[in-house]
Amino acid sequence: MILAGTYNRTVIVLRLIAGVLAGWLLNALADSWPKRRWGAAARGTPQPLRRVFVLLAAGGAALGLHQAGQPLAVQLLHSALLFSLLLAGVIDWEQRLLPNPLLLLAAGIALLLAGLRIASVAAALLGAAVAGGCMLAAYAGGRWYAGAGAPPALGFGDVKLAAVLGLALGVQAVLPALLAGVLLAGAAALLLRVGRGYQPGGFMPYAPWLLLGALPALLR
């Protein structure tokens, strides 16, 4: 019993260290990512605050990731999926841009996980099609409602992110996750509007809220 308790504490400490190291690497990648829109300090979280947030988020994800009984390859791939999505969310928050290389990496990892878990790749692809299709309809509706000259609430990168989440979660889990993300984004926009930090027709990054809504399912 004592040995088991010591082992559990050691695993927790090692997970926390691994998460913090991953957070440090993610911060370094976010700092060095090419600035193609707006600039890192343009409308996002100030970088010192972002660094602290990423360290806490990576450490918390490493502790919260439930992988008991899973092969080491699955655990490593699942961690890589989480951290690639976290990096994409940070870049979107600061640059209003979801990099295609990160989304492609996450999509590839999600497909590998579907195979290694003896899950149906067809089910993962169905989840991607349904989630991406729902967000594509919302994107098209937003473009039509806003008009040709106004920025849409959703970007096409958010459509691609939804498809990646569908690959990772499957059709049954991704729809509640997307709904949670949309509600979180709506609540954030409402709070910003009340605080006059957001104006209708303005642009708020959507990916962080979609990822936050999907986080409980991603940690399973």
Which segments in the chain show pLDDT lower than 50? Answer: 1-5, 7, 38-45
CA distance 39 to 190: 25
pLDDT at 33: 82
pLDDT at 195: 66
The tally of domains found in the chain comes to: 1
CA distance 84 to 176: 22
* Closest of 173, 161, 159, 203 to residue 185, by C-alpha: 203
> Under 8 Å CB-to-CB from 153, ≥6 apart: which residues?
142, 146, 204, 206
pLDDT at 142: 78
Work out the mean pLDDT of the chain and round it to a whole number: 81
Structure tokens given for 37: 């829109």
pLDDT at 3: 42
Report pTM: 0.82
pLDDT at 110: 93
pLDDT at 7: 46
C-beta neighbour count of 194 within 10 angstroms: 9
Domain carrying residue 26: 2-218
Amino acid at 174: V
